[in-house]
Structure 1
Amino acid sequence: MFGKAYSSISKQSLKIHKEKLRDILNRSKPIPLEQRINKLNQINTGWVNYYGVSKCKGILGQLDIWIRRRLRMCIWKQWKKVKTRYRNLKKLGLTHYQSIKFANTRKGYWRIANSAALNTTLTNQFFADLGLKSLTASLY
């Protein structure tokens, strides 16, 4: 690769951006999901426009996955009660047995956010329908 120069996103700027996102995706803040997604889209659009010229598709893909997992965690926290979790999992298409199994789990919010139950029900398309813009899709 002689003769070619590539720019990339520095670790420090990625860390600062993640801190901003953590503030929005804080599970303790009672912010409606639509409002969270609007704020995320504003911040991410500006960030992608600034760093769009660099070679960063891999970093943006990983950041996309991380953002969706944080959103799943916030949704799981909002459901709080076992009864609410069961009903919502049933609405999203899980069977009766699977809904009971996952609604009664004792696992933490972050761990459950990466579980098969939430990954198959709260899919990328689910978040796209709510208005979340993908970082990699907005880049190319």
Structure 2
Amino acid sequence: MESVTNWIERKLGLKVNVTKSKITGPRNLKYLGFGFWKDGKANQWRARPHQDSIKRFKEKLRKLTQRKWSISFTERLEKLNQVIRGWVNYFLIGSMKGALTEIDSRLRTRLRMIIWKMWKVSSKRQWGLQKLGISKDLARLTSYCGDRYYFVATKTCVSRAISKDILTQRGLISPLDYYEHRCNVRFN
């Protein structure tokens, strides 16, 4: 490493930061937020968002979907859409369908929990579920499940009532759908 550093500084006239610079294989490399993996079929190296970048993206979405943050749902969706568009557009050259599938479902679950908390009382919850097409009896039964937000958002009729289509109509951009759309536009 020492001789390479000397050569770069002497011949090219560049300053090398030895704490950040290293010689490594592509699997261990993190460059501008990207990691690399070898595609067995094509026998090529491909880029994808590094695990640290995915972790930071999830953390940012988690902060924007905190239940205790009192902000209108429309404003929340606008902020989420800005973050989603920016992140997907930056990492568009990478392969990230698997990661975005998980992030997409987690995001919708967190938004369902927010809506459930916004409805607050059982009568409002029953009214909201009925308005979204759930039968009166099932809506009443679900509305008295209490404040077990994750359970209600995943295991009851709330996931069927507040579906992906409903959230899309409200203005949410699905990270996975946006990525697939951008890939189709880019390659066509």
TM-score, shorter chain, exceeding 0.5 = yes
RMSD: 1.3
Matched, 1:26 2:66: yes
Shift of 1:14: 1.2
Q: Could you tell me which of 28, 52, 55 is aligned with 2:92?
A: 52
Count matched residues.
140
Deviation at 1:48, TM superposition (A): 0.2
- What residue in structure 1 maps to residue 141 of structure 2? 101
Over 6 Å off, 4+ runs? none
Paired residue for 1:15?
Answer: 55
**Distance between the aligned counterparts of 1:50 and 1:73, measured in 2?**
29
**Deviates most, 31-40 or 2-11:** 2-11
Structure 1 unaligned residues grouped into runs of 5+: none
Counterparts of 1:119 and 1:77, CA distance in 2: 14
- Partner of residue 111 from structure 2, selected from 71, 74, 84: 71
The one-character-per-residue Cα deviations of 1:35-54 (angstroms, maximum 9, x if unpaired) are 11100000010100111111
Say which one has the larger Rg: 2
For structure 2, the 5+ residue unaligned runs are: 1-39, 181-188
Higher strand share: 2
Give the corresponding residue for 1:36.
76
- 1: distance between equivalents of 2:132 and 2:75? 21
Counterpart of 2:168 in structure 1: which amino acid? A
Give the % identical residues.
31
| C-alpha distance in 1 between matches for 2:151 and 2:91 | 31
Structure with greater contact order relative to length (CA < 8 Å, sep ≥ 6) = 1
Deviations 1:45-90 (A, max 9, x none): 0100111111111111111111111100000001110111011111
